Structure 1
């Protein structure tokens, strides 16, 4: 099939939005239209791009069913890409005023209570929280101090449940030291409406209410340079506590959907520069900052490393490959939303705005601006083993806890084991993996 030819399963000759919606509503057909649109934009084929965008603008309804809302977000991202690159300059005018609804999506700033409720809506994050907390408790048994380095997309929302578990498990709870990487420039959703210092004060007060002593520290560090400042801070701390006689401190590295924002090999090669190395002290042309970060963590001899992330591949340099991968992964949150959030609800609006942000970043941006570089579980396993870690099985107690949590949600969610690790599924499709690692 010629790449400029609209695929045969999508009927032609339909002129009304209602007819278009019913005939083009199939997800496979929408994916093909989006792929052809992306090709047309990349090759600056204005006529074809206009034709396909006209169809998409009529069928990809932002308030329609899950397939239509998914396609609407990709349409928005493609329009933004065309505007950014200067290709197909007639597109926005051709699409008409109605299309502007696709571009009017903002990111909500959550209060702590709103974010906690938001995270609890689905197992997307709770899955990793539950699996990680049990693994952390098991690994840190017998330590008088537990130092948790929390690299989390959800602003420490996992920590209160961990504090509760520690308080109920110990008659005299260990001292908890919590270190987070604070980046004032971070605009990755979900966005919190208070500073990390304010968040830390709330967490310390919560711990005190559970008779747990907690120390909170913010290290100003960013994913853009592989958390270089955080690594240096941890090295200093490691040397200090290694010199302390009788020190009994567990070091927990809790990575929850944040490591895929560290630059990977595709970005390093695209930029053709060595500037990413910064403070690590050595450079290897075969290692990305992502792999360097894991190796530097290994030098700290952590008690346990928890790695939780989305199980997809959004790293391709090719736009169409990324579009296909994203489309065949990000239908899942849209599909799940129809099971628990009514149309018009604020929570659904916030939830979909976050997914729209992700789709826009994957499709509309390149280079340093494209930070959504999710890798599949198999690639992270390879990185961890190369950095001299070995995987440890998620315990049966942890699996039982996760299954009990899933029972609180829709019937489509499931759990399966892959090697030592566990995977959250929706209708049989991999969503998020949770893994635990020890220094080899």
Structure 2
């Protein structure tokens, strides 16, 4: 069996994991040495980001090999160097630690692990339901969502110019928070406002951020807002589930296309951070849950993501916008996912330090959402693990395979994004990668925005 001392940084192996409970945490406040940025003077070698990642990885390996003794030892050490009230490194490590504790407690019989799990049982309880005002404020905290809103709206406005009817299918994680800004822009176009049809996929699964309104109530508010801008809007919600690839949504849209012969109607598919919840190849294969009338060729190698995108292509949309987080959480290996999470989710923890005071409600809600994601990625498997992010390059390949062609963002849209970023803390940036836009934090990719037309 691997010795505990073999996995610890120099001198840390000399500390008993049980004696370490009395360690003074005040001297364990490191600076994260990210590439390209000078590290601050380290006040504690033990809590260096690299050491923390190594300990987390070894802990995951111990859990996977059912080594309860080694798991407990590493968990105790991590519990004392990763404070949930510390710097961004420590808070990230603490969240991953709690997810590992939950995973270990469910898979083992150790009373100590069960006790630790009870102490940290609030890790995944991101249960706050936002009011409309709270959610709008939550979305405005960082450009994490606003970047996608701004880029997507610019691409949509360009694509629907001249159409008298615009049908928007909103597949968004933020409950239509993008739509009011789009309505205001549509209302001021030179040829006059069009009729707007808004279809929302009312996902049956609860994902943070959650809203304290029903979709019917939300629809009423959006219709009234559009009316105040002299825009006529029709709102429809289609109860659907990402677990079956939004099959009912695609089928209803297909049926509507059969009876709609108006050539002056634009079909807009707006996908904002929701497609990565569709099951990928590592989880499930296309099965009989897809309606037989769904005109997509299936094979044993297809995923619901592939089927969904081909279903969209059959609808011949005017434009499809895909915005998502640029990371990869699809591996079936716990260690691989842990490393991906550690090297991506430091970003929101680091960024939040720049603009939200500790103890504020907004910061609590913000970090609760991150913790929910971490817990789902680390502590769960199978159908319960829904956070299955893929990098931009993979989505580009998927869209290309589904017979879509990328279209670039116009200069006016890029300028809008840059102006929006000026409203936020220094550190956020924008870069172009071919036809696509990427939001960055201190040079690291965060969120991508892509726009597509039928090839």
**TM-score between both structures, scaled by the size of structure 1:** 0.94
In the TM superposition, what is the alpha-carbon distance from 1:277 to its structure 2 partner? 3.8
Map 1:8-407 → 2, pairs under 5 A: 8=9, 11-14=12-15, 15=20, 16-18=22-24, 21=28, 22-86=44-108, 88=110, 90-93=112-115, 95=116, 99-100=119-120, 103=123, 105-170=125-190, 172-183=192-203, 185-242=204-261, 244=262, 247-268=263-284, 274-275=287-288, 277-279=290-292, 280=294, 282-407=297-422
Cα deviations across residues 93-150 of structure 1 (Å, max 9, x unaligned)? 3x498x4376484421100110001000000000000000011000000000000000
Q: 1:168 to 1:286 in 2, by over 3 A?
A: same
- Residues in 2 aligned to 1:13 and 1:48: alpha-carbon distance in whole angstroms: 15
Q: 1:292 to 1:100 in 2, by over 3 A?
A: closer
- Residues in 2 aligned to 1:79 and 1:296: alpha-carbon distance in whole angstroms: 41
In the TM superposition, what is the alpha-carbon distance from 1:187 to its structure 2 partner? 1.2
- Residues in 1 aligned to 2:163 and 2:141: alpha-carbon distance in whole angstroms: 34
**For structure 2, which runs of at least 5 residues remain unmatched after alignment?**
29-43
- Residues in 2 aligned to 1:311 and 1:83: alpha-carbon distance in whole angstroms: 31
> 1:424–1:430: 8 Å Cα contact kept in structure 2?
yes
- Residues in 2 aligned to 1:326 and 1:3: alpha-carbon distance in whole angstroms: 26
> 1:147–1:250: 8 Å Cα contact kept in structure 2?
yes
- Residues in 2 aligned to 1:317 and 1:161: alpha-carbon distance in whole angstroms: 39
> 1:42–1:87: 8 Å Cα contact kept in structure 2?
no
**TM-score between both structures, scaled by the size of structure 2:** 0.91
Cα deviations across residues 199-244 of structure 1 (Å, max 9, x unaligned)? 00000000001111100000111111000111011111111113x4
- Residues in 2 aligned to 1:438 and 1:103: alpha-carbon distance in whole angstroms: 41
In the TM superposition, what is the alpha-carbon distance from 1:256 to its structure 2 partner? 0.3
Alpha-carbon RMSD across the aligned residues, in angstroms, is 2.0
Q: 1:356 to 1:103 in 2, by over 3 A?
A: closer
Moved more, 260-269 or 300-309: 260-269
- Residues in 1 aligned to 2:432 and 2:126: alpha-carbon distance in whole angstroms: 37
- Between Structure 1 and Structure 2, how many residues are aligned? 431
- Residues in 2 aligned to 1:69 and 1:101: alpha-carbon distance in whole angstroms: 16
- Residues in 2 aligned to 1:151 and 1:314: alpha-carbon distance in whole angstroms: 20
Cα deviations across residues 354-395 of structure 1 (Å, max 9, x unaligned)? 000000000011111000000000000000000000101111
